[in-house]
Chains A and B, each alone.
Chain A
Amino acid sequence: MTGHYCDLSNADVLLSCGSNNLENHPVSSKWVQRALDAGATWIVVDPRYTRTASQADIYCPIRSGTDIAFYGGLINYIIENRLEQTEYVNEYTNATYLIKDSYNFDPETGFFSGWSEADHKYDTSAWGYQVESETDGAQAWMSEAGVPKYTPKAVKTIKRIASIDDTSNPDYKHSVWAIMKEHYSRYTIETVCDICGMDAATLELVYKTYASTGAPEKSGTIMYALGQTQHHYGSQNTRIMTLVQLLLGNAGIAGGGVNALRGEPNVQGATDMAMLVFDFPGYLKWPSVTDTPTLRKWLETQPNAQGYYVNKPKFLIAGLKEWYGKNATVDNDYGYDWLPKIPKNGAIYTTIGTFELMDQGIMKGYFAWGQNPVVSDPNAKFNRNAMAKLDWLVVADWVVTATASFWNAPDMDPSQINTEVYLMPAALIYEKSGTIANSGRWLQWRQKAVEPIDEAKPDYEICDMLWREISKLYQAEGGACPEAILNVKWDYYVDGKIDPRPVAWALNGYEIDDSTDLGAKAPKLLPNFTKLTADGKTANAIWIYGGFYNNNADPYDPAIQPVARRHTKIDSEDGVNGKEMVPVPDKDPGNIRLYPSWAFSWPANRRVIYNRASADAKGKPWNPDRVLVAWDDSKKEWIRNDVPDFGFSTTAEDGTVTHNPPEKCPAFFMKDELHANFVTTGMKDAPLPEHYEPFETPVEKNLLNGALNSPMIKFAENESVKKGDRSQYPIVATTYSITEHWQTGAQTRMCPVLDEIQPRQFIEIGEALAAEKGIANGDEVVVFNNRSEVRMNALVTKRIQPLTVQGQTVHLVGMIHHWDWTNRYSTGEVTNELTPNVGDPNSFIPEYKAFLVDVRKA
């Protein structure tokens, strides 16, 4: 979330699209209800009339997989009716920037310019800016001792028009605004309804209501989750929400934002920690063979030319110092070469590709750590057959999951499977200490409540045992690239025992010298990430967490750290001070539910990111009742209810702090342009989100352009995918979670009380389709496509209505996915045997949310 859960209560209009937030994030209901009580309007757009929809003021059904058409229509509606927040768009976005002449989109083909058929990808530079001039981007710290030599990027001045109304300017047609206006002019209400299966009057009401938040003092928030992201254009789905929020001036304000409601509480933590092939902790880029084979190359390509991300070299080098300790020196590029590099075809190492590699016999061993891919990954039947070709499989979990017993699936023959399976019993969350991060980026420390049962161990302890054994083997036998392992600094011990507290020091960041040894004594913790350096004198494992554990009074005591706050004041402005826990009242500066003395919100305890945009160019808040930051012109200082997301002050050499005036404080100062982007070169598949149909679609043609699927769809060519055609499988299927169970059910189905409140896997079928198929409520049905067939019970309901799409009736079914053949209290079949293993080119997320099936009575 760019905001946080409590901030939902500040919204004037709430839009849940691709999120069933009341069911899957019940805590959101508390804050949504408060917004409604204050007079807000709530819109729910969902293929199903969910428990969330039942509470909304306006419900609008949508065909699964057509979100970009829906939002594109909204953008067109806003621009056509001039409902955007004009001053915000002019001041804070790149709307007035000029794009190169080489930019083009051809609706006839569905391709943007820059496409290379041979490479099967876009040259995204075709969508870049027209550059006016360039100046040297060097900064003083870059030439200090210990900082690796590299040529910083030149700062580019981009050609612009005066404002979005500068239509007489001969270059107007090259402006981002004009390009965007033209691009979405095709997304008329009529076309959108024809694609999404919506009713025009309802859609117009939705557009009108949401676009009303373009008024400067109004705020609109978008809640989304996997319903948006799990498509082969899922990243573009996310981006188009950003476009809408920027147009309406809803980003960086209280009650606004683009709010991803994360699944498992710690899924936010997992992404922060870079549990992804292409990421380095803290959303930095992992080195690759092709683009960043050397440190110098990384430093010359990854940071910005200006803006806050010009500091990325500090974050990476502090990261390398944490990784390799004293072995990392400026002379050996801080050990950069020891990091494994992503190969040219890195995509095949993402989730979907992994199973292809197993199937081809290339990948011989596999760790499934707190993950249950045999149930949760698409085309699950293919996956478990691929796993049968592994030599070994290690599962770390607290129950025998379907992954751990894939060989025992009803259709598998254990006698034919030679995979050696190891199950490492893992401790539950309550059986270990450590941090957890929620959707709102809040980090909290949790103490261990009970000892793990039997031989179960915390993950970090399992990791430590593995580490010691692997190191021993490399020491004894050498092997390929032993330096990558043997040079690693591994000193996360307290009294000789692996412990999460030294890990927390590493995540926070600390000063280092030759004697630094976390296992021997606590280091000097840094107050925040602005103190990180690129000269090898600081270490930090993930820069965004800087300041979350910074109290030097006793680094061994998590209870006095910012991350353990429970309405207690332990920090000065710097964040470090004393051992006392001073209780403070329910501190809420500005009365907008920021609660800064509760937990720690990364980055820097900032509750709403991009918060400079909550005030106008002169620093006057758009809404005087919802002040995040404001410029007090008489005192020449910033009122800071939230931690400013901009360089609000300058400290002189004598220590005097002066506040920087508003005109020196750009709203999106982390961006290279210092402005938020509508058109971007940052995505692989499109500079502006464009509607494509799901991989398996019930329609013959894309009404908006000549391409049915996105040209950049990943893995579609793999044989295992077995694409289904609409002539065989006319029904649109989507998968979803219910409030009673969690993900693969491995945990929740082990709780009898949760099985009792929802004991059976089901498929929701509308009454019309049920009648057509002779299916009565409760009947067992078979759901099938080319990939598999799955049995479950029918829940026949009025809550799913057929949609009229391109003149045809399209039926939709919804399947929950919490069951498999394992478990003690309730069992079922694996829904994900039906989902296609194709994905997004940016994030590689699979397309779980829109595919084709047919249904028959069992």
Chain B
Amino acid sequence: MATVQYELNRTHLAERNAYAASEKAILFDSSRCSGCKGCMVACKCWNMLPSPMELNSQEWNASLQCPYDLGPNTRLTITFRELDSTSPYRPVDWAIGRRACMHCTDAGCVNVCPTGALFHNEDGLVTYDASKCIGCSYCLGACPFDVPRHIGKDDLSGTAIRINKCTGCPDRVSHGMNPACVTTCQPGALQFGDRTEMVKIAEERAAALKAKGYENASVYGINEMGGTHVIYVLKYGLDGYELPANPSISWMTSASEIMKPVLGIGFIALVAGLGACLLSGIGYRRDELRYDEVNHDVIDVDTGDIVKHIDKEAGER
């Protein structure tokens, strides 16, 4: 049964080109985004994702970027980066970006999911069936954008038990509506439609921005990861938006993919997968890390240890 599900995923990927025209995409135009975060609130409300309820319990990272990163109950966050100004008419190149699932064509998470919980729907968006999620967290390590998070913990093992990430609101899209974030966006920074159309709008917009003097303006997502279903117009180029220049599926994901048909799913896969994650040293438990913008440190929330220091001056991101 599990193999069948897996094969379904593969089939979907392989036949993608056959119905590419019907695929949808979210367009995020950073040059129109005013950073109002209405999309974040709409996402939480529509998808019924809770916010912290204890007094003053929400962490603040001395930034307008709140929450600072995606979390177990946060599928979308707006990012703010102050880059050095490239114009005499502004003190800073203020890059306002968006962090959420990119809905890749070559989706590492879908490839690696041992139960078929994660899959592409007919619109090309990567969604999931939470009832099939076993909390293995493979998808975490498999995502080059560090997107998937898990809600809740297993009482015995302490491991996360259910995936949470942007689904593209299939419960709205299938009824002819736009995703919640797109619906609420006032300046039209978010649009939703046929992917080819979104790509066209994005390319025209980037060209217009270049003509206006934003030399680094570019489009992201046309070819990355086989083509993502979130297309970005980056007003100030790649640097301000926390996006990898050349995203790819890690070796570990490829490895686990090889293992999957051999091992099938279930306990063995889980153990093997966790082993792979631990060996690779990435992915696993990343949802419990926090970034300290003041000192540029990645901190383990449980222990308070500095896991990694980002040397910004050396160009590390």
Residues of A within 8 A of B (CB): 22-23, 26-27, 29-30, 32-33, 49, 51-55, 57-61, 201-202, 205, 739-740, 752-760, 762, 776-778, 793-801, 824-827
Residues of B within 8 A of A (CB): 31-32, 34-38, 40-41, 44-45, 50-53, 55-56, 58-64, 66-67, 74, 82, 85, 88-92, 94, 96, 186-188, 212, 293-294
Q: What secondary structure prevails in chain A residues at the interface with B?
A: mixed
- Return the chain B residue nearest A21 by Cβ: B34
Q: B88 — which chain A residues lie within 8 A by C-beta? A: 201-202
Question: How far, in Å, is B200 (CB) from chain A's closest CB?
Answer: 15
15 pairs, CB–CB < 8 Å, chain A vs chain B: A49-B94, A52-B34, A55-B32, A55-B34, A58-B89, A753-B41, A753-B44, A756-B66, A757-B66, A758-B64, A777-B294, A794-B62, A799-B94, A825-B55, A825-B56
Apart from A33-B187, A797-B82: 14 A-B pairs, beta carbons within 8 A: A23-B34, A26-B36, A29-B187, A30-B187, A54-B94, A739-B34, A753-B45, A755-B58, A756-B58, A757-B67, A778-B293, A798-B92, A825-B52, A825-B58
Instruction: Establish whether residues B36 and A23, one from each chain, have CB atoms under 8 Å apart when the complex forms.
Output: yes
Top 8 closest pairs, chain A to chain B, by CB: A778-B62, A29-B187, A759-B58, A752-B51, A22-B34, A756-B51, A760-B60, A798-B92
Instruction: Establish whether residues B40 and A825, one from each chain, have CB atoms under 8 Å apart when the complex forms.
Output: no
Q: How far is the CA of A53 from the CA of B34 in the complex (A)?
A: 9
Q: How far is the CA of A53 from the CA of B85 in the complex (A)?
A: 13
Question: How far, in Å, is A341 (CB) from chain B's closest CB?
Answer: 46
Of the listed residues B45, B89, B188, B212, the one surrounded by the most CB atoms of chain A closer than 10 A to its CB is B89
- Return the chain B residue nearest A764 by Cβ: B64
Q: B66 — which chain A residues lie within 8 A by C-beta? A: 756-759
Instruction: Establish whether residues B40 and A798, one from each chain, have CB atoms under 8 Å apart when the complex forms.
Output: no
Question: How far, in Å, is A185 (CB) from chain B's closest CB?
Answer: 28
Q: A739 — which chain B residues lie within 8 A by C-beta? A: 34-37
- In-complex Cβ contact of A49 among B36, B44, B56, B92 (8 A): B92
Of the listed residues B50, B74, B94, the one surrounded by the most CB atoms of chain A closer than 10 A to its CB is B94
Of the listed residues B34, B53, B59, B88, the one surrounded by the most CB atoms of chain A closer than 10 A to its CB is B34
- In-complex Cβ contact of A33 among B32, B90, B91 (8 A): B32
Given contacts A58-B89, A756-B52, A795-B62, contact A22 B188 (CB under 8 A): no
- Return the chain A residue nearest B188 by Cβ: A33
- In-complex Cβ contact of B60 among A53, A793, A797, A801 (8 A): A793
- Return the chain B residue nearest A758 by Cβ: B66
Instruction: Establish whether residues B294 and A51, one from each chain, have CB atoms under 8 Å apart when the complex forms.
Output: no
Given contacts A30-B188, A51-B34, A51-B96, contact A801 B56 (CB under 8 A): no
Q: How far is the CA of A33 from the CA of B82 in the complex (A)?
A: 23
Q: B34 — which chain A residues lie within 8 A by C-beta? A: 22-23, 26, 29, 51-52, 54-55, 739
Question: How far, in Å, is B230 (CB) from chain A's closest CB?
Answer: 20
- Return the chain A residue nearest B61 by Cβ: A778
Instruction: Establish whether residues A777 and B58, one from each chain, have CB atoms under 8 Å apart when the complex forms.
Output: no
Q: B59 — which chain A residues lie within 8 A by C-beta? A: 759
- In-complex Cβ contact of B89 among A33, A59, A795 (8 A): A59
Q: What secondary structure prevails in chain B residues at the interface with A?
A: loop
Q: B294 — which chain A residues lie within 8 A by C-beta? A: 776-778
Instruction: Establish whether residues A825 and B36, one from each chain, have CB atoms under 8 Å apart when the complex forms.
Output: no
Q: How far is the CA of A61 from the CA of B31 in the complex (A)?
A: 21
Q: B40 — which chain A residues lie within 8 A by C-beta? A: 757
Instruction: Establish whether residues A826 and B62, one from each chain, have CB atoms under 8 Å apart when the complex forms.
Output: no
Q: A776 — which chain B residues lie within 8 A by C-beta? A: 294
Instruction: Establish whether residues B41 and A754, one from each chain, have CB atoms under 8 Å apart when the complex forms.
Output: yes
Q: How far is the CA of A60 from the CA of B63 in the complex (A)?
A: 23
Q: B187 — which chain A residues lie within 8 A by C-beta? A: 22, 26, 29-30, 32-33, 55
Question: How far, in Å, is A368 (CB) from chain B's closest CB?
Answer: 24
Q: How far is the CA of A575 from the CA of B94 in the complex (A)?
A: 49
Q: A752 — which chain B residues lie within 8 A by C-beta? A: 50-53
- Return the chain A residue nearest B62 by Cβ: A778
Q: How far is the CA of A777 from the CA of B63 in the complex (A)?
A: 9
Instruction: Establish whether residues A777 and B293, one from each chain, have CB atoms under 8 Å apart when the complex forms.
Output: yes
Q: How far is the CA of A796 from the CA of B31 in the complex (A)?
A: 24
Instruction: Establish whether residues B51 and A27, one from each chain, have CB atoms under 8 Å apart when the complex forms.
Output: no
Q: How far is the CA of A762 from the CA of B60 in the complex (A)?
A: 10
Instruction: Establish whether residues B96 and A54, one from each chain, have CB atoms under 8 Å apart when the complex forms.
Output: yes
Question: How far, in Å, is A34 (CB) from chain B's closest CB?
Answer: 8
Q: How far is the CA of A798 from the CA of B85 in the complex (A)?
A: 10
Of the listed residues A798, A799, A827, the one surrounded by the most CB atoms of chain B closer than 10 A to its CB is A798
Of the listed residues A33, A205, A756, A798, the one surrounded by the most CB atoms of chain B closer than 10 A to its CB is A756
Q: B58 — which chain A residues lie within 8 A by C-beta? A: 755-756, 759, 825-826
Q: How far is the CA of A60 from the CA of B212 in the complex (A)?
A: 18
- Return the chain B residue nearest A801 by Cβ: B91
Instruction: Establish whether residues A798 and B41, one from each chain, have CB atoms under 8 Å apart when the complex forms.
Output: no
Instruction: Establish whether residues A799 and B91, one from each chain, have CB atoms under 8 Å apart when the complex forms.
Output: yes
Q: B35 — which chain A residues lie within 8 A by C-beta? A: 23, 51, 54, 739
Q: How far is the CA of A149 from the CA of B118 in the complex (A)?
A: 83
Question: How far, in Å, is A324 (CB) from chain B's closest CB?
Answer: 45
Question: How far, in Å, is B97 (CB) from chain A's closest CB?
Answer: 12
Q: A52 — which chain B residues lie within 8 A by C-beta? A: 34
- Return the chain B residue nearest A30 by Cβ: B186
Q: How far is the CA of A551 from the CA of B32 in the complex (A)?
A: 42
Question: How far, in Å, is A180 (CB) from chain B's closest CB?
Answer: 30
Instruction: Establish whether residues B89 and A202, one from each chain, have CB atoms under 8 Å apart when the complex forms.
Output: yes
Q: B53 — which chain A residues lie within 8 A by C-beta? A: 752, 825
Q: How far is the CA of A30 from the CA of B185 in the complex (A)?
A: 9
Q: How far is the CA of A686 from the CA of B203 in the complex (A)?
A: 53
Question: How far, in Å, is B278 (CB) from chain A's closest CB?
Answer: 32
Q: How far is the CA of A755 from the CA of B60 in the complex (A)?
A: 10
- In-complex Cβ contact of A757 among B41, B50, B90 (8 A): B41
Instruction: Establish whether residues B56 and A826, one from each chain, have CB atoms under 8 Å apart when the complex forms.
Output: yes
Instruction: Establish whether residues B62 and A793, one from each chain, have CB atoms under 8 Å apart when the complex forms.
Output: yes
Q: How far is the CA of A271 from the CA of B34 in the complex (A)?
A: 29
Q: A797 — which chain B residues lie within 8 A by C-beta? A: 82, 92
Given contacts A757-B40, A794-B62, contact A827 B188 (CB under 8 A): no
Instruction: Establish whether residues A26 and B56, one from each chain, have CB atoms under 8 Å apart when the complex forms.
Output: no
Q: B52 — which chain A residues lie within 8 A by C-beta? A: 752, 755-756, 825
Question: How far, in Å, is B22 (CB) from chain A's closest CB?
Answer: 28
Q: How far is the CA of A760 from the CA of B293 in the complex (A)?
A: 16
